[in-house]
A and B are shown apart, each in its own frame.
Chain A
Amino acid sequence: MPMVLLKCDKDIPEREKHIYLKVDGEDSRDFLPVSNAATLPGTLSERGCAFCGAKLVIGGVLKDTIQMIHGPIGCAYDTWHTKRYPTDNGHFNMKYVWSTDMKESHIVFGGEKRLEKSINEAFDEMPDVKRMFVYTTCPTALIGDDVKAVTKKVMSERPDVDIFTCECPGFAGVSQSKGHHVLNIGWINEKVGTVEPVITSKYTMNFIGDFNIQGDTQLLNQYWEKLGIQVIAHFTGNGTYDDLRSMHRAQLNVVNCARSSGYIANELKKQYGIPRLDIDSWGFNYMAEGIRKICAFFGIEEKGETLIAEEYAKWKPQLDWYKERVKGAKMAIWTGGPRLWHWTKSVEDDLGVQVVAMSSKFGHQEDFEKVIARGNQGTYYIDDGNELEFFEIIELVKPDIIFTGPRVGELVKKLHIPYVNGHGYHNGPYMGFEGFVNLARDMYNAMYNPLLRLAATDIRGNLNTRFLEAAE
């Protein structure tokens, strides 16, 4: 019976449909976890909201764009500085945060005037910046502010600026995944095709679904430059607003994160006939395969082989040093969705690590098809896991290391289990050859860190007992 009802879920038995244990003789034709479904009442979800998916994951990455959040200050603050995506222009996107700071009176009387004032103030304060995303949030969507009318008015009055409106309040979907969707589709329909890029190479592509977490984009871009491939748009790591308006001119769309950004790649294929090539950018074996495929598309295979040989010579010995020390470890991956299927085979093939449990916050069934096809038997595959389930799964699989985000990471640290930030990384970048050495190093440092053992030892000795007696 591969769908699993955990003991902690006895009062919410619907959770059984979300937890799968892969066993011999059964496959995804027989069982597939329910996913991208509303979180059940009674389960303490680790998910984010739809607005967060649009702003924090995709839009907020851009390096030349004001991110105006039309709502109370918390929506802006809580999606600022909680991800680390640097830029090559001094990290403009991480230095500043913008909000219309809605208060009760604006909710009662409407917030459109305040939005217009805020947009103009922001452009006046930053006269060199001419691009802006405006996001609705739950309260401003509920009161019906006509955000697009406001942005249209501002653009008519300030012809040198361009504004994209993302109408995706937090309640718009079951998780941050809805925000990815709304931003992707809104952007392709409203902005792609409105700027013509300068073409500098015979070979052009968009690199889609990489958000420059701790420099991922910048690391991979070294490869594309060596290969002579012009990246017209990075969606959206270290990217610019106008580059993304030029996406229609690329010859190829290379997709890393198919969950957050597969929509725009599909639409670029449908509307502009640009093929979509999905690759894995984490891991030596996968990265080499991705480079080979891109080079095969452009007919520059020899260049690709030279690059791969150089990178292997430089980084493989370091990877192998860590492999000797982490192989055989049992790993859990509790992240958003795609990293489950990106990582499960790469850590196994490149580091000899076995993944024993995986949980996805916002993955869809497509993601579970991929990860169950790639993952091991005896491994748990969980949709929208909650804290009590994590406790129980830890007892069941006893992982040696857990890759997850800071929220669940706090739980993991208190249990004295080695933890690595699987979202924003500990010491990234993690993509590419050099990046996977960084991942291996962080894994090694976490597993061999003596502090975990020391933290698990209560040095108070008898003193501890006396406090307990006093409390009793």
Chain B
Amino acid sequence: MTTDKIEQLFGYVQERCLWQFFSRTWDRQENIDGVIKTATDMLTGKEFQLETPMERLFYADAKIMVADFKQRFPWIEELGPAQIRDLMHGLKDKLVEFTITKSLNHELNHSLY
């Protein structure tokens, strides 16, 4: 059941979100960490920081993603905080696998842009 839910969210992110496909490994990791954390905080009602430019960036991306999650996958609003955290953790792992660890993109680890 959780796997199926992760697949649904993953399908959405792959299709809609450009932040997962930035140029280098460290950019992708930073974006995935930042957006997923902010989205998890939003979905669990936890307060989040909007002080630094990068926090505001992650908020901008996460806000649209969370709104789409709620619209496309209404079951997400029925989940408790612990279930949300598990779900988003699973989503994050899958994104890291597809876009970083098992990506066939040969340019991901160049030291320069």
Mark A residues whose CB is within 8 Å of B. 27-29, 31-32, 36, 185, 251-252, 258, 262-263, 266-267, 270, 273-280, 289, 292-294, 296-297, 345, 364-366, 369-370, 373-374
A275 near B54 with CB under 8 A, answer: yes
B22 near A370 with CB under 8 A, answer: no
A275 near B53 with CB under 8 A, answer: yes
The reply on B56 being an interface residue by CB < 8 A is: yes
A278-B18, A297-B56 known, 11 other contacts, Cβ within 8 Å: A29-B97, A29-B102, A252-B53, A252-B57, A263-B23, A276-B22, A276-B57, A277-B60, A345-B15, A365-B105, A370-B18
| Pick from A36, A267, A273: contact of B53, CB under 8 Å | A273
The answer for the CA separation of A265 and B58 in the assembled complex, in Å, is 16
B53 near A270 with CB under 8 A, answer: no
Q: Report if A289-B113 is in contact (Cβ < 8 Å); known contacts: A274-B53, A279-B18.
A: no
- Chain B, residues 39-77, CB within 8 Å of chain A (1/0): the string is 000000000000001101101110110000000000000
The answer for the CA separation of A275 and B34 in the assembled complex, in Å, is 12
A28 near B53 with CB under 8 A, answer: no
A296 near B104 with CB under 8 A, answer: no
Q: How far is the CB of A251 from chain B (nearest CB, A)?
A: 7
B57 near A369 with CB under 8 A, answer: no
How many residues of chain B have a CB within 8 Å of chain A?
Answer: 29
The answer for the CA separation of A280 and B103 in the assembled complex, in Å, is 23
The answer for the CA separation of A28 and B20 in the assembled complex, in Å, is 14
Q: Report if A289-B15 is in contact (Cβ < 8 Å); known contacts: A274-B53, A366-B105.
A: no
Can you report 17 residue pairs joining A to B where beta carbons are below 8 Å apart?
A: A28-B103, A28-B104, A258-B23, A262-B113, A266-B24, A266-B27, A275-B57, A277-B60, A278-B22, A292-B63, A293-B61, A294-B60, A345-B16, A364-B105, A366-B21, A373-B14, A374-B15
B60 near A370 with CB under 8 A, answer: no
Pairs of residues from A and B, 10 with the lowest C-beta to C-beta distance, nearest first: A275-B57, A278-B18, A296-B60, A32-B104, A365-B105, A373-B14, A29-B102, A297-B60, A266-B113, A293-B60
Mark B residues whose CB is within 8 Å of A. 14-16, 18-19, 21-24, 27, 53-54, 56-57, 59-61, 63-64, 97-99, 102-107, 113
Q: Which residues of B contact A270 (CB under 8 A)?
A: 113
Q: How far is the CB of A269 from chain B (nearest CB, A)?
A: 8
Q: Which residues of A contact B27 (CB under 8 A)?
A: 266
The answer for the CA separation of A313 and B3 in the assembled complex, in Å, is 40
B105 near A277 with CB under 8 A, answer: no
A366 near B107 with CB under 8 A, answer: yes
The answer for the CA separation of A392 and B15 in the assembled complex, in Å, is 28
The answer for the CA separation of A273 and B103 in the assembled complex, in Å, is 27
A28 near B19 with CB under 8 A, answer: no
The answer for the CA separation of A302 and B24 in the assembled complex, in Å, is 34
B64 near A296 with CB under 8 A, answer: yes
A258 near B18 with CB under 8 A, answer: yes
B56 near A275 with CB under 8 A, answer: yes
B63 near A266 with CB under 8 A, answer: no
Q: Which residue of B lies closest to A370 (CB)?
A: B21
Q: Report if A293-B104 is in contact (Cβ < 8 Å); known contacts: A266-B113, A273-B53.
A: no
A296 near B53 with CB under 8 A, answer: no
B53 near A292 with CB under 8 A, answer: no
| Pick from B23, B64, B104: contact of A292, CB under 8 Å | B64
Q: Which residues of A contact B19 (CB under 8 A)?
A: 278
The answer for the CA separation of A36 and B98 in the assembled complex, in Å, is 21
B107 near A364 with CB under 8 A, answer: yes
Q: How far is the CB of A35 from chain B (nearest CB, A)?
A: 10
Q: Which residue of B lies closest to A274 (CB)?
A: B53
A262 near B64 with CB under 8 A, answer: no
B64 near A293 with CB under 8 A, answer: yes
The answer for the CA separation of A366 and B104 in the assembled complex, in Å, is 9
